[in-house]
Amino acid sequence: MPARSSRQDPPALGIGMVGYAFMGAAHSRAWATVDQVFDTPLRPRMNVLVGRDEAATRFAARRYGWHHVETDWRTLLERDDVQLIDICTPGDTHAGIAIAALEAGKHVLCEKPLANSLAEAEKMAAAAAKAAEQGVRAMVGFNYRRVPALALARRLINDGRIGGLRHVRAAYLQDWLADVSVPLTWRLQAERAGSGALGDIGAHIVDLAQYLTGEHLAGVSGLTNTFTTERPVSDRGDAELGPVTVDDAATFTGRLASGAVASFEATRVAAGRKNALTIELYGELGSLAFDLERLNELSFYDRTESEDTAGFRRILVTEPGHPYLEAWWPPGHTLGWEHTFVHQARDLLIDIAGGDDPEPSFADGLRVQRVLDAVAASAAHDGAWTKIQSP
Ligand code: SOE
């Protein structure tokens, strides 16, 4: 990271954020916190919050600390006080906003999944590649890459500590749709969200598997199902029902480019599982296991150790030498889900200042989209094996 004197303010980077719901709140807190914690080379200024409902947007802006409010994202393209557009809206708007922003020379952070379709993701990746030639940067918000324990897992895999990869097991289980009275929000409509559990949370574990292994999925076989096919159109207790047009659950197996095998489960109807993301990687020399409910820990089994004492070791990932931990609290003072967004903001600011392409890039987002598209195609043909184009 470029050094800076602690007494000198770094240059400002004006942010315009579109959307202020769940992800908007998480991103707002990250922008507000990142340069309190890290010695960032740019100082984010939370200049403009965009939302269609002016009163609600004003309320959110005051609450989260945004200076100005707009009701049309297009105004951000013209504003001199916005250098980065942060997209926290449903998937059907990602491509339009991101491509226009990149063409207007604004850096982009876009929530996951990158797009609602492969065709959109391809256009977005092409726009990002073109913009990068002009020094304009784009990142997709797969925030779990920034869990310190998972960043450590990546480091250990890169260092060869688990050897040649054989097997990946990944699951992302939630239960908020187990209740059939949950209304038909945008996340349950294909035209707004693209897909259901598959794109919303399956995308995270696909990205993690590809990121941690450094490989892409070469083919998949998948099944999806929608258990509750109609839901109340509003949360006002009226009886009108509308169709659910996305999956409740998706499971798939895949083969990585090296031949390693992988299994994935994504569901929003696993009663009792609130936000249960687990990933395990098995190699010739050892194994790694992570559980989001214990996100400060990474389990590591080292097969090169003596059999007498070998066993899964629980690494408490809070040492200053662990990824992102140098700037936080003393060892043992644990972090949480929210901090992943702070780390994401930090890395993006460093890359923008350093003139580097951030990761996950839109090309990484496209690689995930290819997998989602292949799983949906496979599921439409009873799990037929479906090949995925190489990157
Ligand atoms: C879905 O419920 C969701 O909010 C996802 O959209 C997020 O990406 C995930 O981090 C938490 O769950």
Domain count of the chain? 2
Strand duo 313-316 + 297-302: pairing:
antiparallel
Q: Tell me, what's the pLDDT at 6?
A: 60
pTM, 2 dp: 0.97
Boundary of a domain, candidates 143, 174, 195: 143
CA distances in angstroms from 387 to 217, 256, 264, listed in the order given: 9, 11, 16
- Residue type at 207 in one-letter notation: D
Which atom of ligand 1 approaches the CA of 176 most closely? 2
| CATH number for 73 | 3.40.50.720
Q: Tell me, what's the pLDDT at 86?
A: 99
Residue 385 token pair: 């094996």
Q: Tell me, what's the pLDDT at 4?
A: 47
Provide the residue range defining the domain that includes 202: 147-387
Same domain, 224 and 308: yes
Distance (Å) from CA 197 to ligand 1 centroid: 9
CA distances in angstroms from 287 to 156, 260, 304, 310, 355, listed in the order given: 10, 14, 11, 12, 36
- Cβ–ligand 1 distance for 201 under 6 Å, the answer yes
Boundary of a domain, candidates 143, 166, 190: 143
- Cβ–ligand 1 distance for 127 under 6 Å, the answer no
* Cβ contact 223:375 at 8 Å: no
Question: In which residue ranges of the chain is pLDDT below 50?
Answer: 1-5
What whole-number distance in Å separates Cα of residue 49 and Cα of residue 61?
6
Same domain, 117 and 215: no
- Choose which residue among 140, 198, 201, 292 to substitute to test ligand 1 binding: the one with the highest number of ligand atoms within 8 A of its C-beta: 201
- Cβ–ligand 1 distance for 23 under 6 Å, the answer no
Same domain, 223 and 243: yes
Q: Tell me, what's the pLDDT at 195?
A: 97
- Cβ–ligand 1 distance for 200 under 6 Å, the answer yes
